[in-house]
């Protein structure tokens, strides 16, 4: 997965070519995992479940993926990478060129859209404290910190995790289970973005 270290420090070294048999096994593992994660609570899926569904040995599975979280992270990679590219060089307000509050609101909207489509993968990738160890979370953290600094927030680091907390898959699923629509969630997050970043530093000081 693309991490904020890769993006800030230059391209990562090229990986060695993948053998054809390894590529086939990887594709089978990921396809089986998608079906299992979508069919039931991803937190209940085991490595044995995935190996059996993919028709590969446990050793083959463990050589590439240490646990189910890492498989879910790999499945999310393509979707999160596309959003990362938009944040770096896309059109405003998601990309550069809009006020910080508008950019944060656009980021929230894009993340809700991603969760609409892939919440089951996010839930599988974020079990326990795994969410904070992913490269994507590091990237989102850098992005939010940059917006906080642009808005002249005096202590941006203290607000990064609170502003990202509403995007946790468990929070999203809880809101949807209570009957909230994606539009309602997005509108509420827009209010949050403007409440935190929508005033000038002089207004906050006064």
> What confidence score (pLDDT) does residue 37 get?
85
Sign of the four-CA dihedral 18, 22, 28, 30? negative
Domain count, the chain: 1
Nearest Cα to 47, choosing from 136, 37, 135, 78? 37
For tokens 């326990």, name the residue: 128
Asked if residues 102 and 151 have their Cβ atoms less than 8 Å apart, the reply is no
Residue range(s) defining the domain that contains residue 22: 4-205
Residue 7: the pLDDT is 46
Q: Where are the beta strands (DSSP E) in 4-86?
A: none
- Alpha-carbon radius of gyration of the chain: 19
Q: Is 87 strand, coil or helix?
A: helix
Indicate the burial class of 95 (C-beta count within 10 angstroms; 0-12, 13-18, 19 or more): middle
Report the CATH number at residue 197: 1.10.357.10
**Average pLDDT per consecutive 10 residues, the chain (206 residues; last block may be shorter):** 45 59 88 88 90 93 89 84 94 97 98 92 76 87 97 96 94 95 98 86 38
- Position 18 scores a pLDDT of 63
8 A C-beta contact, residue 148 and residue 197: yes
3-state secondary structure of 95: coil
């Amino acid at each position: 997965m693309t991490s904020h270290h890769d993006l800030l420090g230059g391209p990562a070294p090229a990986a060695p070519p993948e053998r054809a048999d390894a590529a086939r096994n990887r594709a089978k593992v990921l396809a089986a995992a998608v079906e299992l994660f979508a069919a039931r609570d991803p937190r209940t899926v085991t490595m044995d479940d995935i190996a059996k569904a993919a028709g590969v040995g446990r050793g083959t599975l463990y050589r590439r993926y240490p646990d189910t979280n890492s498989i879910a992270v790999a499945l999310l990679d393509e979707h999160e990478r596309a959003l990362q590219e938009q944040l770096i060089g896309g059109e405003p307000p998601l990309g550069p060129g809009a006020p910080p509050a508008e950019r944060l609101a656009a980021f929230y909207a894009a993340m809700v859209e991603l969760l609409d489509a892939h919440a089951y993968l996010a839930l599988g990738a974020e079990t326990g404290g795994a969410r904070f160890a992913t490269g994507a979370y590091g990237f989102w953290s850098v992005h939010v910190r940059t917006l906080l600094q642009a808005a002249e927030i005096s202590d941006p680091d203290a607000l990064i995790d609170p502003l990202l907390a509403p995007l946790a898959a468990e929070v999203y699923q809880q809101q949807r289970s209570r009957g909230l629509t994606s539009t309602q969630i997005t509108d509420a997050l827009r209010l949050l973005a403007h409440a935190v970043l929508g005033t000038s530093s002089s207004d906050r000081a006064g």
